Amino acid sequence: MLVSQILKTKGDLVFTATPTETVGAICALLHSRRVGAMVVMEGDRVAGIVSERDLVRALAEEGASALSKPVSSCMTHDVHFAAPNETVNELLTRMTDRRIRHLPVCEDERLVGIVSIGDLVKWKITEVEAEADGLKAYIAAG
């Protein structure tokens, strides 16, 4: 299964923020949109990604004062990306090795979607279930 196929089903909506939005505002947006991460954009360029982990880390280190700081102060600057032509297995390996849960999907340096570890696991389970059903049908027909 390719990332492009997942995005066709899931959709390409990506919630984004600017580097100057406050940590408190980002917390509220993550909560209201029921997502675990947002891509931080400077114009058309991905500047970073901010996840719930980044926010918890900032709050643990700085306390309530972190809420008024810009999200650029706690976002992940070294963003790992996915390409539409990559497979679920490739991304699962990358995410596991790097201990990350979200990958922005870019094509020709343009943001075209985002996938989470949950999206990939869902597709992997669907794939394995379809394979098992096929084997059961084969055995039953034999």
Structural domain spans, the chain: 3-141
Where helices occur in 38-81 by DSSP H, the ranges are 52-62
The pair of structure tokens assigned to 116 is 């989470």
Mean of the pLDDT values across residues 9-38?
96
Q: Where residue 95 falls among pLDDT bands split at 50, 70, 90?
A: very high
The CATH number given to 3-141 is: 3.10.580.10
What is the per-residue pLDDT across 36-94, written as a single tens digit (0 to 9) for each? Answer: 999 999 999 999 999 999 999 999 999 999 999 999 999 999 999 999 999 999 999 99
Listed as own residue / partner, the contacts of 25-29 with beta carbons closer than 8 Å and 24 or more positions apart are 25/71, 26/50, 26/55, 26/71, 27/55, 27/67
- The yes-or-no verdict on residue 98 having pLDDT over 90 is yes
- The yes-or-no verdict on residue 142 having pLDDT over 90 is no
**Which helix (H) or strand (E) element contains residue 48?**
strand 45-51
Q: What is the mean pLDDT of the chain?
A: 95
Backbone dihedral angles phi then psi of residue 35, each to the nearest 5 degrees:
-125, 165
DSSP label at residue 136: H
